[in-house]
Amino acid sequence: MLCSSCGEGLLDGAKFCAHCGVQAVAVMQPIQEPTGKSEKSSLRAAYNSAGQAVSRTANVAKNIGGMVATQIGDLNGDGKIDAEDFKIAAAKAKQLASAACDETVKLGKSTLQSDLVKEAAAGAAVGAVIAVPVPVIGPATGAVVGASLGAYKHFTKK
């Protein structure tokens, strides 16, 4: 086997290249050919060279991809993506969700303070109570009509 990074020969069973130190990746072996056929020899040499170039390029892309993934996912800076990184990400997600919830509650409280919402709610309650005995309309429709009238009252007030 040949090293996909530097092209040097690898020892059988080697996990790393003894020449450049890159992790050993299986690459295509050069095709052995009978001697005496120069045209086939040129084609085989081109094939071997192209195969090695593709192997090296794929290995470089794999190494870069691994480095990028580690840079993004290694939240505690220990050089690997592990359960600790997941815990950090989960804690941050919980913190952000809690902050979003708090903002939603603040927004809801301030909305309930507005006169428009108070008048619409009062109108909905009255409309629902009035419409209970009317079988065709019902309390839901009465609440909608009442809320609409409450909002209308708010906007037409001077």
Residue 125 within a domain:
yes
Gyration radius of the chain's alpha carbons: 36
* Amino acid residing at 35: T
Number of domains present in the structure of the chain: 2
Query: Do 121 and 69 have their domain in common?
Result: no
Instruction: Tell me the per-residue pLDDT of 33-81, one tens digit each, with 9 for 90 and over.
Output: 555 556 677 788 888 888 888 888 988 888 888 888 888 888 988 888 8
- Whether residue 94 is contained in a domain is answered as no
Please check whether residue 133 lies inside any domain of the structure. yes
Q: Are residues 64 and 125 in the same domain?
A: no
- Please determine, for residue 10, whether its predicted confidence score (pLDDT) is greater than 80: no
pTM of the model: 0.40
User: Does residue 98 sit within a domain?
Assistant: no
91-95 long-range contacts (CB < 8 A, ≥24 apart) are none
Residue 137: which pLDDT band, with cuts at 50, 70 and 90? Answer: confident
pLDDT of 125 reads: 93
pLDDT in tens, 112-121: 888 899 899 9
The range of the structural domain enclosing residue 146 comes to: 114-156
